[in-house]
Each structure stands twice: as structure tokens, then as C-alpha cells.
Amino acid sequence: MDQIERLVESQRDYFLRGETLTYSFRKEQLKKLKSILKKYENSVYQALKADLNKSRHEALTTEVGFLYTEIDFALKNLKDWMKPEKADVPITHKGTKNYILSEPYGVSFVISPWNYPLQLAIAPAIGAIAAGNTVILKPSELTPTTSSLLSEMIGETFDNNYFAVVEGGKDVSEHLLKQKFDYIFFTGSTAVGKIIMREASTHLTPVTLELGGKSPAIVDKDADIDLAAKRIVWGKFTNAGQTCVAPDYLYVHKDIKQKLFKAIKKYIKSFYGKRPLKNEGYVRIINENHFNRLQAFLTEGKIVHGGNYSKNKLAIEPTILDKISWEDPIMQEEIFGPLLPIFTFSDLDAVISKIKQLDKPLALYYFGEKLTAQQKIIQGISFGGGCINDTLYHLANPYLPFGGVGSSGIGRYHGKYSFETFSHKKSVLKQTTKFDMPFRYPGGKVAEALV
């Protein structure tokens, strides 16, 4: 048996001992997780700087702070979440008591990507722990400093048989996938998501797939242009556009296009300075492959802002592209970088029908004041989740489930939804022995008993 097989086996033994079932155990582990994050907070900032050139502010708001909120939320609500849920009793079941128990699946496997290498590794683990599972986490090989720090932090704090980090790339991930897990939680690309689901089917392991796609932002004629520009610039260029829910492309009403351009340029300057490539806190592109892929897109359409880059630093300025066509390569895949193509529209219905022909996006953002138009968008287009008059913000509300639909994902998490994702809902009926309803037995009078 190799190391990975042994690890999965020892986690299964650990799980079967039943220690993870109690509220006090789970609470203790969540507290331990929070305190190790606190202890290593500075090292986390350094690791995120080394891997992605993330500023402390960005690392705090989008990674570390998010995790503190999720852990605190779980700690505050866990007792409630764990309570058996009473179910109603139909007349045919008179005399019974019915309830639903949330039980852990067992050994869970979390696979995470590089773009928020701390948040996307730990956030699913919070759900797995809260629900009473053991966890094997495989962080991304593309952010080696953060991944090795994760391994150190988790290794120092938790029994390997309960929560372990296995570092490595595709090969390690593939080998892990051959094992029998009780739950697999994957965050990454749609292409790899399909592989995960195929592998999971061998053992009929349930999966959550948090994937990507092209998320549109639409700015209508009556939008607050300045606020829309500010929130779009923030949503698009945070993490240099390497955010699964970043607006991928923008549709703007023709009457306000120039005003919106002006406001977008103003906010790019205000957030990142006149020379973003010289800005110490401007996030870089993860590696040369992605840099080259994005650089090639710069030849498409017309650059109306930005367009400079530094191959040395692997950085590309916040860039706005006009005159893009749907046939251009930039529109054939998720951009995942600081390039924002802009389309102009005059008829909102045409925008809706265009988006509906595409894969269902992970997010959608609509800017405009009219309720009828807002509802047309929200009800007319299927997407994972999104905002009216904002970007990204829905993701940080622990009361909202976060996840995709169609090719942008399967399942949901955050807040209580993370607990539910990692819990099997077990239905229990407790029958009375004081009497027995005759109608179900051969010869019983069905009609009489049911009226």
C-alpha cells in the first residue's frame, strides 16, 4: 500500500471511531483552525505576496477575512445546524415521529485552485469539519508558497488521520482520485471538473464542483454610471481579473458608453495609479502560460485603455477592449485576467437572448434602476448567483448559497450551505408500538383508512 492509500485508510479508521460526531469535537477543530490562521496570518500575507503579488489589503479582504467570518459563522450556528430536524406527519403515518439527521459522509477530499489559494482551500474544509468529516486537502501546485504553508499550518495543528494536506500537481490529484472517498469537493476549471466527476463515478462518490465560465456585466441606460464603473473596476481587476466570479465581459447601453468608459478609466487610475505596472500591490498573472494566453488577446479588437504589460513581472495593466466580436478567441474561453471586452447594446432583450444561448454563467451583474428590467434579467437568465448594481458582493454573504449551474458547477456552499453540502440527510421514522394501522396489509381497507 502506498502513502496515499494508507492516508485514506487511516482517515477512514479515524472517522469510523466516531470522534468527529460530537458538537464539542467539531467546535474544538474550528477553533483550532481559526487560531492557526491567526498565528500564521503574517506568513499567509507573505506567501500570497510571493505567489501572486497580492497586497496585504487584498489578501485580508478576499482571503483571510473571509475565512474568519466563515469560521465565526459556523461556530455561532453549528449547534443549531446539528439538531435533528422534525418532519411533518401525514395522516397515513399517524402515531409516528419523523425527523431528519445530518450525518457526515466520512472521508472528504478537497481539491483547490491557485487564484485564491488560501480561501478556496480552507473554506470548503470549514464545511467538512463542521459537518463531522475528515479532510484530505490537495491545494494547487501553481501557488507553491501558500500550499506549503498550508501543509505546515495544518500539519502542526491537526492529526494527519483527521485533516491532512497532500501537496502536488495533476499526478498526485489523479492518484488521490483513484481512492474511495465519501465526498469530493472540487474548485477549478470546467474541463478538470468533468474529469473529477468521471473519476468520482467509479465509487459513486457525491461531488460538489465549483467551476468557472464567462460571467457578464450589463450596464443599462438608467444606471448610476459612476457607481457602476467603480464596482465593475473593483470586481474585474481585484486579483488582476483572476477571480471565478469576475465580470468576464461587459455589455453597455449605447447612450451611456462614453460616459461609462470615462468613469471606468477614472477608477482604474484611482485604484491602481497612472502606472499600474509600477504599483507594488497590483496582482500578477499566475504563470508564463497564462501570461502568454492573455497577451495574445491584446491583439484583438481595439485597446481603449491600458494594454501595457511586463513579461518580467508577469503583469498586465487593467485593459479595456472595444470592437471585439463574438468570434474572437477572447470570447471563446473564460478570460481570467485583467482584460475587459466591451459590447454595446440598444435592446436589452437581444442581450438576454444572446446570453441564454451561451453556457450558464457562474455570475451575472446587472446595473440599472428599473425594477421591470432587473426582473427580466434575474428571471430570464439562468446563472449561479449575482448582483443587481454590484459585483462579487453576493459571494461574501454567508446567508447566500454560492455555486454554479450547468457548466459553471454543481452544488453550493458558504455558511449553512457548506454544512449541508458535507452532510447526508438521513430520514428516520420512529413507529409507535401502541397501535398498528391495518390498511397497508393485505386485506386492509385502504380507502376507508385514507379518508
| Residues annotated catalytic, as ranges | 210, 244
Query: Whose CA is closest to 281, among 80, 101, 84, 62?
Result: 62
Binding mask 390-409 for ligand NAD (x = CB under 6 A): --------------x----x
Find the shortest distance in angstroms from Cβ 447 to ligand NAD: 52
217, 362, 377, 381: which one binds ligand NAD (CB under 6 A): 362
DSSP 341-410: EEEEES-HHHHHHHHHHSPPPSEEEEE-S-HHHHHHHHHHS--SEEEES-SSGGGG-TTS-B---GGGEE
Q: Is 210 in the site for ligand NAD (CB under 6 A)?
A: yes
Of 167-175, 230-238, 344-352, 439-447: span binding ligand NAD (CB under 6 A): 167-175
Q: Which amino acid, one-letter code, is at 152? A: E
Distances (CA, A) of 31 to 70, 272, 274, 432: 12, 37, 43, 41
Which residues inside 216-245 make contact with ligand NAD, applying CB under 6 A? 244
Give the residue with the Cβ less far from ligand NAD, 65 or 169: 169
Q: 125 with 153: CB under 8 angstroms?
A: no
Give the residue with the Cβ less far from ligand NAD, 44 or 120: 120
Q: Is 188 in the site for ligand NAD (CB under 6 A)?
A: yes
Give the residue with the Cβ less far from ligand NAD, 188 or 306: 188
Query: Whose CA is closest to 305, among 365, 215, 220, 236?
Result: 236
Q: Is 136 in the site for ligand NAD (CB under 6 A)?
A: no
Find the shortest distance in angstroms from Cβ 217 to ligand NAD: 16
328-344 burial string, b = 16+ CB within 10 Å, else e?
eebbeebbbbbbbbbbe
Of 20-28, 34-42, 55-63, 136-144: span binding ligand NAD (CB under 6 A): 136-144
Of 204-212, 254-262, 296-304, 308-316: span binding ligand NAD (CB under 6 A): 204-212
Q: Is 173 in the site for ligand NAD (CB under 6 A)?
A: yes
Q: How far apart are CA 411 and CA 327, in angstroms?
A: 31
The three-state secondary structure class of 265 is helix
Phi, psi of 113 (to 5 degrees): -95, -175
Find the shortest distance in angstroms from Cβ 123 to ligand NAD: 9
Provide the binding-site residues for ligand NAD, judged by CB under 6 A: 111-115, 120, 138, 140-141, 169-170, 173-174, 177, 187-189, 192, 195, 210-212, 244, 334, 336, 362, 404, 409
